[in-house]
Amino acid sequence: MNNKEFITALSQKESLSQRDAQMLVNHLVAELASLFENGNLLAVQNFGQFEVKKKMERVVNNPSTGQRMLVPPKLVLNFKSSPNLKERIQKGGEV
């Protein structure tokens, strides 16, 4: 399901025009981005939890050249699905 199909499905469900749906999604995504930018944690019931996690810097080895590199620290957005969602996917989503 790509973005277009996603917007279509959402607009049908909310009985909106696709343009409005896309506009609202854009606003929502902007809102999400600003939340995560501030390091907040977002928990959505029955869906999962979005969290910003810090990865420490580390040294990696390129096995073929033997070069060692220092990877800088970074903040990464993480998603953890709720047990509920897992269960439902286990039951219905199995393809």
Partner 1 sequence: MEQKLTLADLASGLSRRASVPLRYSEDFVRSFFNVIEDGLMHDNIVKVKGFGTFKLVGVDARESINVNTGERIEIAGHTKVSFIPDPAIRDTVNKPFLEFETVILNEGTDTAIMEAMDVESEIAEVTDLTDVPVAQPMETPEEETVDEDTSVEEKEQVKKQEETIEIVKEEVPTEVVNEPMEQVEKKPIEKEMKSQSAEAEITQPAVCKKCTCCHCWSHFFLFLLTAAVFTVIGYILAEYWHPVTLPKLCSENTEEKASVATKTLTDNIPAKVVTPADSVTAVSSGKEKHVKQPSETLAYPQVEDGEYWIVGIEGTEIMKPGCTLLNFSIKYYKSKDFVNYICTMNDIKNPDIVSLNKELRIPKLKKK
- What x-and-dash track marks residues 20-59 binding partner 1 by CB under 8 A? ---xxxxxxxxxxxxxxxxxxxxxxx-xx-x-x----x-x
User: What are 45's two structure tokens?
Assistant: 């019931």
| Smallest separation (angstroms) from partner 1 to the CB of 5 | 8
CB hemisphere CA count around 3 (13 angstroms): 7
CB of 19 to partner 1, least distance (A): 13
Burial of 2 (C-beta count, 10 Å sphere; 0-12/13-18/19+):
exposed
Please give the Cα distance from 86 to 14 (Å, whole number): 25
- Does the footprint of partner 1 cover residue 6 (CB under 8 A)? yes
Kindly state whether residue 77 participates in binding partner 1, applying the rule CB under 8 A.
yes
Total interface residues for partner 1 by CB under 8 A: 64
